Amino acid sequence: MKLCRLPFVLLFALGAASRLVADIALAPLFRDGAVLQRDRPIVVWGQAAAAEKVEVTFRRQTATVITRADGRWQVTLKAEPASPVPSELTASGANTVTVRDVLVGDVWLCSGQSNMAMLVRNSADAEREMAAARFPLIRHFKVPTTVAGTPATEVGGSWASCSPETVGSFSAVAYYFARELHQKNGVPIGLVNSSWGGTQIEGWISEPALRADPAWREIQARWEKTLADYPAAVQAHESQLAKWTADEAAAKAAGKRFARAKPRTPEGPGSRWLPAGIYNGMIAPLVPFGLRGVIWYQGETNAARHAEYASLFTALIKQWRADFGPDLPFYFVQLANFEAQTGNDGDTWAYLREAQARALKLPATGMAVTIDIGEPKDIHPKNKQEVGRRLALHARRQVLGERIETDGPIFLSAKRDGAAMRVSFSHATGLKLEPAKDDGRVSFEIAGADQKFVPAEARVDGQTLLVSAPSVTTPVAVRYAWRNSPDARLFNRAGLPAAPFRSDKWK
Confidence class of residue 410 from pLDDT cuts 50, 70 and 90?
very high
Pick the closest to residue 303 from 346, 349, 335 (CA basis). 349
- Checking if the pLDDT of 344 tops 70, the result is no
Buried b (16+ CB within 10 A) or exposed e, 473-483: eebbbbbbbbb
Measure the CA dihedral 417/420/426/429, to 10°: -100
Euclidean distance between CA atoms 133 and 131, whole angstroms: 6
pLDDT score, position 310: 98
457, 433 Cβ separation under 8 angstroms: no
pTM: 0.92
Pick the closest to residue 393 from 493, 357, 401 (CA basis). 401
pLDDT score, position 3: 53
Per-residue pLDDT of 69-101, as tens digits, reads 999 999 999 999 999 999 999 999 999 999 999
3-state secondary structure of 497: strand
- Checking if the pLDDT of 5 tops 80, the result is no
User: Once rounded to an integer, what is the mean pLDDT over residues 477-486?
Assistant: 97
pLDDT score, position 345: 63
DSSP annotation of 287 reads: T
3-state secondary structure of 284: helix
User: Once rounded to an integer, what is the mean pLDDT over residues 293-321?
Assistant: 98
DSSP annotation of 282 reads: I
Per-residue pLDDT of 348-380, as tens digits, reads 999 999 999 999 999 999 999 999 999 999 999
pLDDT score, position 93: 94
52, 83 Cβ separation under 8 angstroms: no
Domain ranges of the chain: 410-502
Report how far apart, in Å, the C-alpha atoms of 164 and of each of 129, 134, 147, 161, 168 are: 8, 6, 32, 10, 7
- Checking if the pLDDT of 250 tops 90, the result is no
Q: At what angle do helices 384-398 and 172-185 cross, to 10 degrees?
A: 40
pLDDT score, position 12: 40
* H/E run at residue 232: helix 216-253
Backbone angles phi, psi at 402, to 5 degrees: -75, 145
Burial of 109 (0-12, 13-18, 19+ CB in 10 A): buried
176, 387 Cβ separation under 8 angstroms: yes
Per-residue pLDDT of 230-243, as tens digits, reads 888 888 888 888 88
pLDDT score, position 292: 99
Backbone angles phi, psi at 361, to 5 degrees: -70, -20
Please state, rounded to an integer, the average pLDDT across all residues of the chain. 93
- Checking if the pLDDT of 178 tops 60, the result is yes
| CA triple 177-123-132, angle to 5 deg | 70
User: Once rounded to an integer, what is the mean pLDDT over residues 473-489?
Assistant: 97
Per-residue pLDDT of 429-457, as tens digits, reads 999 999 998 888 899 999 999 999 999 99
User: Once rounded to an integer, what is the mean pLDDT over residues 370-394?
Assistant: 97
Per-residue pLDDT of 12-45, as tens digits, reads 443 444 444 558 999 989 999 999 999 999 999 9
Residue 426 CB coordination number (10 Å): 12
User: Once rounded to an integer, what is the mean pLDDT over residues 179-202?
Assistant: 98
Name every residue whose Cβ is closer than 8 Å to that of residue 72 and which is 6 or more positions away in sequence: 45, 46, 47, 153
3-state secondary structure of 74: strand
Name every residue whose Cβ is closer than 8 Å to that of residue 499 and which is 6 or more positions away in sequence: 334, 353, 357, 367, 369, 371, 407, 408, 409, 410, 411, 481
- Checking if the pLDDT of 192 tops 80, the result is yes
Pick the closest to residue 480 from 399, 427, 424 (CA basis). 424
Whole-number percent of the chain with pLDDT over 70: 94
Alpha helices of 138-204 — where are they, by DSSP H? 172-185
pLDDT score, position 22: 58
DSSP annotation of 228 reads: H
Q: What is the CA radius of gyration of the chain?
A: 25
Tell me the pairing of strands 432-433 and 61-66.
unpaired
Per-residue pLDDT of 210-231, as tens digits, reads 999 999 999 999 998 888 888 8
pLDDT score, position 11: 38
3-state secondary structure of 392: helix
User: Once rounded to an integer, what is the mean pLDDT over residues 277-294?
Assistant: 98
Euclidean distance between CA atoms 112 and 356, whole angstroms: 13
pLDDT score, position 228: 85
Euclidean distance between CA atoms 209 and 188, whole angstroms: 33
119, 167 Cβ separation under 8 angstroms: no
- Checking if the pLDDT of 161 tops 60, the result is yes
